Chain A
């Protein structure tokens, strides 16, 4: 049974103009969100994207844009409480909690 989260919320964007179809994004995506179609990447299953940012980071032509971040409620709460970006406290100190 495939697990699905909300539809149509992710910030993933692909610019077909700059995409060279190198296929790197397909390789790094853990959820099969992208597929190659006629020599270009295409957002095939956008709602499965978890905004990990791997595709953006490994796109040599910056054709992909995504607001990557920590998808963790307690991290978001901590971020709000401290007025910072969502943080997991994964800094390695003793006693910290992590995602």
Chain B
């Protein structure tokens, strides 16, 4: 225990439960009175206490995850950080570390039925383990802080922490060892393997260590892609409506459908059929689907049946729709589990100029075609 008793923060220590220094506090009230941060961290040690949690998810938990998957309340779906437990853990029970994104926390605890374990929840601001590790909030400092903060060392006699493997990009195992004495063991990638991992004496198989990106893994991510596309799309439809009022354009439901299918190709079809669509770049995959759709749309609407202004509109669509699909498909790189930042950079440098030029040319052609048609 750190000695925090000095004259400066004697008030802090007087009000503490034990009159010794480095005293445990039930409340953090005293910590505010401490003047500098080193004292704060010392006095902020709370009495070791853990909150019991269940391994069964309730109807409310399921509803919550469904909403989050649909993009509702996704950025504010958290549990309080700190120490939890399932079953009847003793001082030898394993300590499993996770993020305070509720989806992550739920995914872990529902795999723990029949297991007695401590769950140390880091404050990742409601972000999942992997994303949080990438930005360092699921990181070395936060882990050290929560070990201190929860008084974990008084509850367990061993010094081993099981971290999800995907937390490794934020945590230095050797650093944790050096600074806290705890040994970090990286568990499986997926929470569903945790009980098998513990049964095997904390040994992960090759399979448990690999990130997958199967059809189901991809499908579950597409609704959020769609919801993020809704706002700009509604804005666009508003603009189309205003343009119609000028009398120079005649956008109809067909245009709305043409655009919507192009967006869905990028947001849903590319993710679903990712391995089977040719090309390595996501934008290329999106462009191909968009091209198929735009050819179908343009020919079935007869834009090329007669020479005239409609040809401009037809070519305009052939340029706009694939660009839209390509753009939305490219955004899915953010969800994928195999694209590197360097690769994404390369893809963007190659694709964005094409997308931008095709989009601008397409809009010009479409406008020219519409205005000519309107003025005849």
Binding site for B on A (CB under 8 A): 1-6, 9-11, 24, 27-32, 48-54, 57-58, 60, 67-77, 86, 88, 90-99
Contact = CB atoms under 8 A, between A and B. Distances in A.
A52 B134 contact: yes
A47 to B, nearest CB: 9
A96 B75 contact: yes
Main secondary structure of the interface of B (DSSP, over half): helix
Given A57-B170, A93-B75, A71 B343 contact: yes
A94 B95 CA distance: 31
Contacts of B133: 52, 54
Contacts of A27: 165, 186, 204, 209
A25 to B, nearest CB: 10
B337 interface: yes
Interface residues of B, number: 55
B168 A58 contact: yes
A88 B133 CA distance: 13
Most chain A CB neighbours (cut-off 10 Å) among B135, B204, B336: B135
Nearest to A92: B125
Given A3-B336, A73-B330, 8 more contacts: A5-B280, A52-B134, A52-B169, A53-B134, A57-B168, A58-B168, A69-B134, A90-B132
Interface in B115-145: 125-127, 130-135
Interface stretch (B13-21, B171-179, B245-253, B295-303): B171-179
B241 interface: no
Closest 10 pairs between A and B when the two form their complex, measured CB to CB: A72-B334, A92-B125, A54-B168, A28-B168, A30-B211, A69-B341, A1-B275, A51-B340, A54-B169, A60-B174
B228 A97 contact: yes
A98 B331 contact: no
Contact of A88 (B213, B333, B334): B334
30 contacts: A2-B275, A6-B343, A10-B340, A24-B174, A27-B165, A28-B169, A30-B337, A50-B337, A50-B338, A50-B340, A52-B168, A53-B169, A57-B170, A58-B168, A60-B174, A68-B169, A69-B341, A71-B344, A73-B331, A73-B333, A75-B334, A76-B344, A76-B345, A92-B125, A92-B126, A94-B76, A97-B228, A98-B127, A98-B131, A99-B334
Contact of A30 (B165, B274, B344, B347): B165
Contacts of A96: 75
A49 B126 CA distance: 27
A91 B126 CA distance: 9
Contacts of B170: 57
A73 B131 contact: no
B287 to A, nearest CB: 14
Given A28-B165, A58-B174, A3 B334 contact: no
Contacts of A98: 74-75, 127, 131
B27 to A, nearest CB: 25
B337 A11 contact: no
B346 interface: yes
Nearest to A55: B168
A2 to B, nearest CB: 8
Contacts of A86: 341
Contacts of A6: 280-281, 343, 346-347
Most chain A CB neighbours (cut-off 10 Å) among B74, B127, B133, B348: B127
A20 to B, nearest CB: 12
A3 B166 contact: no
Nearest to B351: A73
B267 interface: no
Contacts of A54: 133, 165-166, 168-169
Contacts of B135: 70, 88, 90
Interface string B240-280: 00000000000000000000000000000000001110001
Contacts of B213: 3
Interface string B207-226: 00111010000000000000
Given A71-B341, A76-B348, A98-B75, A58 B165 contact: no
Contact of B335 (A30, A50, A94, A99): A99
Contacts of B345: 76
Interface in B161-212: 165-166, 168-174, 186, 189, 204, 206, 209-211
B340 A5 contact: yes
A91 B132 CA distance: 9
